[in-house]
A and B are shown apart, each in its own frame.
Chain A
Amino acid sequence: MERMPQWADVVLVPLISLLMAFILSALVIVAIGEDPVAAVKMMVNGAVGSTYGWGYTLYYATNFMFTGLAVAVAFHASMFNIGGEGQATLGGLGVAVVCLALPWPHWALALPVAVLGAALFGAAWAAIPAYLQARRGSHIVITTIMFNFIGASLLNYLLVNVMRPVGSMDPATAKFGPGTHLPTLHDILAVVGIPFSRAAPANISFLIAVVACFLVWLLIWRTRLGYAIRAYGKSEPAAVYAGISPTRIIMISMLISGGLAGMMAVNNVMGEAERLIMNSVEGAGFIGIAVALMGRSHPFGVFLAAILFGFLYQGGAELALWTSIPRELIVVIQALVILFTGALDNMVRMPLEKLFLALRKDDA
């Protein structure tokens, strides 16, 4: 018999965890002498109070959807891909290579190739840790951490020594051509007559991210491969007994995971910066961990959690602009969300299970 009803497991536990994380965050705000209620009001106003705010919130959310899905897919195969940061960095390299290789005549031609390039480079960066895990038993967490640093050094080298335009001091690639400029939400919504901020960076990548959420759902719950991934994640011996090859599952799920993380670059490199700069990922790879944990590794959960983190990011930027609360408050909130929804899950779950068990006894 289930220890508690499914709705409690899927909705109640994460909500309580989230609530605890937010209460502690509010205490931090009080401790540094600011008013948490005013802070929340300012965040709401700044993040969703205007189409400009929405444009930033959705822009950040797009990044987090990709990295969140990346972590979630690996979680389903019971692997912890902590290398989203490096994979997204390499994804940026893939986008830059595609965008700079040809004088693209139109974004509609450049976009699919860029998506492919980003996914390919991201997947390639996940491939080595995946292979080492599958064949040599090297712990995927440690190798993906190492690959984050190696990726950062590699990109640093390429930007300084190889891809920097002649005469430029800035360690960045040249600006991409006009044919790679992606339509922003302003352009897209203007077609159907909805006014939207012209200045905000949210672009067509948001729609790609939503499609990616749907496709991951399809993959995990509606295909044979998804079943194999979940089976392997739940129990390796059982999966092997059922004829599922661990090497194949580890490789495939990590390649998908790395590819998804890499695809984030379509949003931030191609959609926003329109050139490749140093440290363009800005920690979004790590936020994917919080997003996947909060979304319970379900694509719809990831979608919601990514929007929430997009809101926190944009709201936090507003706070930093208008109050003395630094941007790093968001890092604290992110840490607390990871702590409560991930590591301290049992702290919420155990008392709840007892409560439901007691209730059920009363009924009987």
Chain B
Amino acid sequence: MMDFATILQVFDSTVRLATPLLLACLAGLYSERAGIYDIGLEGKMLAAAFFSGAIAAVTGSVWLGLLAGIAASTALSGIHGLAAITFRGNQLISGVAVNFLAAGLTVVIAQDWFKQGGRTPSLIGGARFTPVKLPLADTLREVPILGPIYYELISGHTILVYLAFAMVPLTWWLLFRTRFGLRLRAVGENPAAVDTAGVSVVGNRYAAVAICGLLCGIAGAYLATALQAGFVKDMTAGRGYIALAALIFAKWRPWYALSSTLLFGFLQAIALRYQNIDLGGVVVPVQFMDALPYILTVVILAGFVGKAIPPRAGGEPYVKER
């Protein structure tokens, strides 16, 4: 059986692994709530991971890296917006294109700039995000139970982790308590009504897609400059798709997104720590743990456990009647 310290370590790693999923999941939430399907989360994260890693490596500043990552991700969002909103193309196909564009370009550019087989140099010092020690973490460490929880689990993460968790209430407030949020959700449910009210459908959708780019940019930068020290080829490793799965699992709601990404982060943490899990004679293979987020999503989508209903106008380009 696992002891207390091990459990803490697993939860600690859950938080680290859930952070990029949470950021990408919230990114997708903004976009899909506004009626723009986005299966290009993976590509945007990957592009952000590369450019943040590359710029941080060259300048030595992780903050410039973060900005570069956000810029790259938002640029891809712009392409997606152009295809999906302005030219009313197929949003799914556009997302696929964005994913491949990022997968190809990151390696081509990385090879051209650094000549290290599609990776950036390892980031050191100020080129990485360092853990933040919360106040009193050392003092309270000796307190039984709660002390280690505070020291190990809550304190000692990078600033982006706290930012990601803060985004959950912020997103909830923005979407459900502000006029902007109401309009954003409305263009995803009934764009014609929004248009009739004199509010720009195109403007709101572009705003949502831009926020999506911003959050994917932070998620990608987190991968390359906080979780790991530098970019390696295909480092997102399907996280964009897991985030997409988490979004469906969360039924397009911010607080549910927190719990679903924590769950999927936990599965990753377990799979990372244990190869095969022995549950009293029945051995669960690691491959099953890897596939579990996807299996759970299919089950949820099938409506066997609750029902996930997407925004009504999702995936449909808006055409004003003439």
- Which A residues are closer than 8 A to B by beta carbons? 28, 31-33, 80, 82, 128, 132, 136-139, 141-143, 145-147, 149-150, 153-154, 156-157, 160-161, 286, 289, 293, 324-326, 328-336, 338-339, 342-347, 350
Separation in Å of the A292 CB from the closest CB of chain B? 10
20 A-B contacts (beta carbon < 8 Å)? A28-B108, A32-B112, A132-B301, A132-B302, A145-B244, A146-B298, A154-B287, A154-B291, A324-B111, A328-B107, A328-B111, A329-B104, A331-B104, A332-B108, A335-B100, A343-B87, A343-B90, A343-B93, A344-B82, A350-B87
Query: Contact: B301 with A150, CB < 8 Å?
Result: no
A347 contacts which chain B residues (CB < 8 A)? 87, 89
Assign chain B's interface to a size class. Answer: 35 or more
CB of B238 within 8 A of chain A?
yes
- The answer to whether A342 touches B104 (Cβ under 8 A) is no
Given A161-B285, A343-B83, the answer on whether A331 and B100 have CB atoms closer than 8 Å is yes
Establish whether residues A32 and B100, one from each chain, have CB atoms under 8 Å apart when the complex forms. no
- Which of B82, B108, B297 is in CB contact (< 8 Å) with A146? B297
* Nearest CB of A to B229, in Å: 22
Query: A residues within 8 A CB of B98?
Result: 335
Q: Check B306 for interface membership: any CB of A closer than 8 A.
A: no
Is there a chain A Cβ closer than 8 Å to B310's Cβ?
yes
B269 located at the interface, meaning its Cβ lies under 8 Å from any Cβ of chain A in the complex: no
Nearest neighbor of B233 in chain A, beta-carbon distance: A328
Q: Closest chain B residue to A155 by CB distance?
A: B287
Q: Which residues of A contact B105 (CB under 8 A)?
A: 28, 328, 332
Supposing A82-B92, A331-B100, A338-B100 touch, asked if A156 and B112 sit within 8 A by C-beta, the answer is no
Instruction: Say yes or no for B313: interface residue by CB 8 A criterion.
Output: no
Q: Which of B89, B103, B107 contacts A343 (CB under 8 A)?
A: B89
> When chains A and B are docked, how far (Å) is the Cα of A152 from the Cα of B96?
19
B108 lies within 8 A of A325 (CB)? yes
Q: Which of B260-298 contact A (CB under 8 A)?
A: 285, 287-288, 290-291, 294-295, 297-298
Q: Roughly how many angstroms separate A136 CA and B304 CA in the complex, as a whole number?
A: 9
| Bound Cα distance from A139 to B98, whole angstroms | 20
What's the least CB distance linking A90 to chain B, in Å?
14
> Whose C-beta in chain B lies nearest to the C-beta of A324?
B111
User: Contact: B89 with A146, CB < 8 Å?
Assistant: no
Q: Chain B residues near A150 (CB, 8 Å)?
A: 291, 294-295, 298
Q: What is the interface of chain B mostly: helix, strand, loop, or mixed?
A: helix
| Chain B minimum-CB-distance residue to A331 | B104
Q: List the A residue with the shortest CB-CB distance to B285.
A: A157
Q: Is the CB of A32 within 8 A of B108?
A: yes
A336 to B96, CA, bound (A): 10
What separation, in Å, do the CA atoms of A176 and B262 have in the docked complex?
44
Task: Give me 14 other A-B pairs in contact (C-beta within 8 A), A142-B244, A149-B241 excluded.
Answer: A32-B111, A132-B301, A136-B302, A139-B301, A142-B297, A150-B291, A157-B287, A286-B100, A289-B93, A326-B107, A326-B118, A342-B96, A344-B94, A346-B89
B contact set with A: CB distance below 8 Å: 39, 79, 82-84, 87-94, 96-101, 103-105, 107-109, 111-112, 115, 118, 238, 241, 244-245, 248, 285, 287-288, 290-291, 294-295, 297-298, 301-303, 310
Residues A32 and B287 in contact, CB atoms below 8 Å apart: no
Contact yes or no, A346 B118, CB < 8 A: no
Chain A positions within 8 Å of B244 at CB level: 142, 145
**A326 CA to B105 CA in the complex, in Å?**
10
Complex Cα–Cα for A189 and B297 (A): 49
Would A143 and B301 be within 8 Å (CB), given that A328-B108, A328-B118, A335-B97 are in contact? yes
- Which of B89, B100, B108, B241 is A145 in contact with, Cβ under 8 Å? B241
Chain B contacts for A136, CB-based, 8 A: 301-303
Q: Are A138 and B301 in contact (CB under 8 A)?
A: yes
Q: Report the nearest B residue to A80, measured CB to CB.
A: B92
Q: In the bound complex, what is the Cα–Cα distance between A143 and B248 (angstroms)?
A: 11
What CA separation (Å) do A343 and B79 show in the bound complex?
10
Contact B100 A149 (CB under 8 A): no
Q: A326–B90 contact, CB under 8 A?
A: no
Closest residue of B by beta carbon distance from A32: B112
> In the complex the two chains form, is B108's CB within 8 Å of A335's CB?
no
Q: In this complex, which of B105, B115, B244, B287 has the most chain A Cβ atoms within 10 angstroms of its Cβ?
A: B287
* Docked pose: A336 CA to B101 CA in angstroms: 7
A339 and B79 contact, CB distance less than 8 A:
yes
Interchain nearest-CB distance for B303 vs A (Å)? 5
Partner of B108, one of A147, A160, A329: A329
Q: How far is the CA of A128 from the CA of B303 in the complex (A)?
A: 14
| 6 shortest interchain CB distances as A-B pairs | A331-B104, A335-B100, A343-B94, A332-B104, A153-B291, A343-B83
Q: In the assembled complex, how far is the CB of residue A70 from the closest CB belonging to chain B, in whole angstroms?
A: 15
In-complex Cβ contact of A132 among B88, B89, B298 (8 A): B298
A106 and B70 alpha carbons, distance in the complex (Å): 58
